[in-house]
Structures are given as structure tokens and as C-alpha cells.
Amino acid sequence: YKEGHLPGAINFYRDDFQDTTLPYHGMRIEKEQMAKRLGEAGITENHTLVVYDNKGSSDASRLWWLLRLYNFDKVYLLDGGLSYWERMGGKSSREVPEMIPASFNFSDQADNMIVIEKEQILNLIISEASKAILLDARSAEEYKGLQHKSGAKKAGRIPKSINIDWAEAIDYGDTYTFKSVEELEKIYGKLGASKEDTIIVYCHSGVRSSHTTFVLTQLLGYKKVLNYDGSWVEWSFDDLLPYESDTLYIKEN
């Protein structure tokens, strides 16, 4: 951000919206805490937010999902983020805008039903009747249990999950924009799901799964997509939960 950002942009990092009271990292903060942090940055519920990053919209999608969870829908992603903005001739700035602290108020509505908890997933795994599809948005190495990523207690995957790496949806290494709807339909057609089926998405700590949730709901029109925000980090810390894993190696970084 300090090296260059869109003119007038303010800066948040994913840690700004992370619950630090848990023994593991990456979990979301509650609505009241989020409202407080948004207000401290000078944002009110009357603003429209355009969110971007420089990582293929993964971190931006996380903030998008959190805001939608808490019933704030005036939030959009800048496709391609900073790198594509500059590539298309957009100017960047190092000037940090002065924001006057304000009050941000979420609506009194109940949270959107776009999240699922580990107990519900366990019930779905056990149930023979469940038709819900469990989608792992991590890399193939993480899915197979071949990479033990920092923050998790162990490597592996949740049983019955299907793996489609979140990055398949992005023109990674070039424009960092979302692929065309036609390409995305082919990628996620591997799920064999109808637009009405329940799809549960997880990753390492809810960031990449938020990205996949955005793709499925906003670009492809799937109606019932639930993000398991705790994801593999939370699941791995509960030794009573089932998991699957192949041969393991430890990745130094």
C-alpha cells in the first residue's frame, strides 16, 4: 500500500478483521467489532465500497464476504486489482488520505445465511442422505495432505470433499482478472452441481473460500453457497473430527 495504491484508497489487511482470542488464526471478527473498525477508518453505512488487492482478489473477496455476511451489500470487487489497474493506464499514488473517524452501523437484520459451522459439516459427512457438495478451494498439495501449511495443526482434508483450486478461476500470472464465464463454467462443471444445489466451500482459513464463493454466486449464479469460515485451520485443531491425508512433507516456508 505504501509503495503505491489507487488514489484516495484506504488500507486494510486481513488481520484487521481477525479474531485474536482463539488458539488458531484467521477466524472472522464479530459484527460489532467490524463496525467499529470500519468507522475508525472513516467509513459509514452510506458509503459504497470498491475493494481490491494485488493477489487475484483473494483478500478483497474475504472482505466482500464478511460485509455480505453482516448484510452490507454495497460492496464490489475491482477485477484484476492494482496490477491490472496500472496495466490499463490507471494512476497510482503514495498519498495516504486523511479520514475522519465516523460511525458505521450494520442493519439489525440477522446475518446472511452464507456461512456454515463445523458441527453442521460433520453432520453432513455422517449423513448418507445429504446431497450437499463439499468443495476444497486449496491447492492440490494441501488437499492431498502433502503440504502442512502454517497455522493448521495437521495436514489433510475434510472427508468427502472435492478439490478445485481457487486460483483456477483467475488469469494468474498475467492480468489477475477473473476468467470468462464460459471458462469458469467448465472449471466448476467438475462439481456436477446444479445452480440450486448446496455447495459448501472451505480452504485454509476462509480467504480463498471467500473468493470461490464470490465466483460461484456472483459470476456463475449458484443459489446456495456456504462458506466454512473456520476452514481447515479450525477443523485440524479438533482431534475428534475425521480427516483424510496422504504422505506428508513439511514445507519450510
From the list 151, 139, 219, 147, the residue with the least C-alpha distance to 14 is 151
pLDDT at residue 36 tops 70: yes
Alpha-carbon gap, residue 24 to 181, rounded angstroms: 36
pLDDT at residue 253 tops 50: no
Structural domain contains residue 225: yes
Report the percentage of the chain scoring pLDDT > 70. Answer: 97
Dihedral sign, Cα of residue 53, residue 57, residue 59, residue 61: positive
Structural domain contains residue 50: no
pLDDT digits (tens, 9 = 90+) for 145-186: 999 999 999 999 999 999 999 999 999 888 999 999 999 999
The HSE-up count of residue 232 (CA atoms within 13 Å, CB side) is 31
From the list 196, 201, 116, the residue with the least C-alpha distance to 162 is 201
Q: What are phi and psi of 230, to 5 degrees?
A: -65, -35
Structural domain contains residue 229: yes
21 pLDDT tier (thresholds 50, 70, 90): confident
Structural domain contains residue 209: yes
pTM of the model: 0.94
pLDDT at residue 248 tops 60: no
Name beta bridge partners: 18.
28
pLDDT digits (tens, 9 = 90+) for 97-148: 999 999 999 998 888 999 999 999 999 998 988 899 999 999 999 999 999 9
**pLDDT, greater one: 20 or 196:** 196
Structural domain contains residue 14: no
Q: What is the dihedral of CA 160, 171, 227, 242, to 10 degrees?
A: 30
Structural domain contains residue 212: yes
Task: Indicate the residue type of 229.
Answer: D
Task: Indicate the residue type of 24.
Answer: Y
Structural domain contains residue 233: yes
Please give the average per-residue pLDDT across 53-67, as a whole number.
96
Q: How far is CA 124 from CA 86, 112, 119, 244, in A?
A: 45, 20, 9, 16
Per-residue model confidence (pLDDT) at position 247: 61
> The CATH number of the domain where 165 resides is what?
3.40.250.10
Please give the average per-residue pLDDT across 193-213, as a whole number.
97
Structurally, the chain folds into a number of domains equal to 1
Per-residue model confidence (pLDDT) at position 111: 85
Residue range of the domain that includes 174: 118-237
Among 44-48, 101-105, 198-202, 249-253, the minimum mean pLDDT is found in 249-253
pLDDT at residue 249 tops 70: no
Structural domain contains residue 158: yes
Per-residue model confidence (pLDDT) at position 252: 47
What positions carry a catalytic annotation?
203
Q: How far is CA 214 from CA 63, 81, 167, 210, in A?
A: 11, 15, 13, 6
